[in-house]
Amino acid sequence: MITAQNLIKHFGTATAVNNISFEVKEGENLVLLGTSGCGKTTTLRMINRLIEPDSGTVFVNGTDIRTQQPEVLRRGIGYVLQNHGLFPHYTVAENIAIVPRLLKWADQDIRKRADELFQKLNLDASLAGQYPAALSGGQQQRVGLARSLMVNPPLLLMDEPFGALDNLTRISIRKEFRALDELVKKTIVMVTHDVQEAFEMGDRICLMDKGEIKQIGTPEELLFKPANDFVRGFFDEQRLQLELRSVLLKEVFPESDASSEVSVWDRMDALLHPENGNLPADDIRIGDLMRAFETYKRK
């Protein structure tokens, strides 16, 4: 779906992106991960031509994007900006109608689609007439997403979509977004500097540093087969939690018929908090779990 080839971008004498290449398959969710200033936003914006690379190019569905009008290209690519990017002097309804109006949608169709997305994204209909400043951070984030989804583009670029939220809100919105049918089939490139978020949202993670890609692969590959010391070091602080989250119960207990898609982390959480009532009736104990996990890791 997306092929980026040898992208280079300088700003003055600084190198923001230094010769990177990657691919995103249809329906895949690729996360660009890295610390502030490593070139994530610059990379994302080269996909929809908000930034033109100094050299290299991007193909979307096999078409070199340099041969397309930027405006035409962008209509097929949803974009959720860092810090939501809503226009302050437009109401919520006006904000989300921008692209449909460019495409000359009828008013009633715009309203219908907006109503549908408001429902799916848990936004109260009364917010439509409000200005962005009157909304909470979480609501602004949802409106930003609604705006990017209005014309149902097959490709979505999201720049720190949960960046402005407190940690608890982040976790719950993330869960909601992951379950959203509108997002399931889309090809998504998402930027974050949050490691947990990258592991939760990404089919693959592209770890960047100083404008370069240090490794690109599944969360498990980055964790268990780091390509270099940078990658190994990057995850060290949260390593145990990430490992527990990314390994499934069925992987450490292959013979058991333990419910298959539960992670070791979730199972441990259920054991530690039986009051939440998620504890299955088998007799796996926490000690068994840790031992089996350690054995699994040694293999």
Task: Return the residue of 75, 111, 120, 193 that touches ligand ATP, per CB under 6 A.
Answer: 193
Residue 42 near ligand ATP by CB under 6 A: yes
DSSP 248: B
Residue 150's binding partner among ligand ATP, Mg ion, none (Cβ under 5 to 8 angstroms by kind) is: none
42 binds, among Mg ion, ligand ATP, none (CB under 5 to 8 A by kind): ligand ATP
* Residue 193 binds which of ligand ATP, Mg ion, none (CB < 5-8 A, kind-dependent): ligand ATP
Torsion angles phi and psi, residue 152, rounded to 5: 55, 55
Residue span binding ligand ATP (CB under 6 A) among the ranges 10-18, 125-133, 236-244, 270-278: 10-18
Asked if residue 207 binds ligand ATP (CB under 6 A), the reply is no
41 touches Mg ion by CB under 5 A: yes
Tell me which residue has its CB nearest to Mg ion: 41
H-assigned helices in 150-278: 167-179, 181-184, 195-201, 219-224, 229-235, 239-246, 249-252, 264-272
- Residue 52 beta carbon to ligand ATP: minimum distance, rounded to whole angstroms: 12
The interface partner of residue 38, options being ligand ATP, Mg ion, none and the CB cut-off 5 to 8 Å by kind, is: ligand ATP
Instruction: Say whether residue 13 binds ligand ATP (CB under 6 A).
Output: no
Q: Which is nearer to ligand ATP, 9 or 267 (CB)?
A: 9
From Mg ion, ligand ATP, none, which one binds at residue 16 (CB under 5 to 8 Å depending on kind)?
Answer: ligand ATP
Name which position in 8, 18, 19, 37 contacts ligand ATP (CB under 6 A): 37
Burial 176-196 (b: 16+ CB within 10 A, else e): ebeeeebbeebbbbbbbbbbb
Site for ligand ATP in 77-96 (CB under 6 A): 82
Which one of the spans 16-24, 38-46, 134-142, 196-204 is the region binding Mg ion (CB under 5 A)? 38-46
Work out which of 1, 24, 39, 127 binds ligand ATP, going by CB under 6 A.
39
Q: Is residue 16 near ligand ATP by the rule CB under 6 A?
A: yes
Task: Give Cα separations from 62 to 140, 153, 159 (angstroms).
Answer: 34, 17, 24
Question: Which residues, other chains included, contact 269 with Cβ-Cβ below 8 Å and sequence gap of 6+?
Answer: 278
Look-up of token digits 């449909």: 100
Among 2, 31, 38, 284, interactor with ligand ATP by CB under 6 A: 38
Report residue 256: phi and psi, to 5°.
Answer: -75, 160
Beta carbons of 33 and 195 less than 8 angstroms apart: yes
Q: Quickly count: other Cβ atoms within 10 Å of residue 208's Cβ.
A: 23
Phi and psi angles of residue 139, each rounded to the nearest 5 degrees, phi first: -65, -40
**Nearest approach, Cβ of residue 163 and ligand ATP (Å):** 8
Distances (CA, A) of 198 to 9, 12, 68, 72, 246: 24, 31, 31, 30, 12
Rounded to the nearest 10 degrees, the angle between the axes of helix 137-149 and helix 167-179 is 20
**C-alpha to C-alpha distances, 203 to 3, 72, 208, 257, nearest whole angstrom:** 16, 28, 16, 26
* Residues making contact with ligand ATP (CB under 6 A): 11, 14, 16, 34, 36-42, 82, 193
* Residues making contact with Mg ion (CB under 5 A): 41
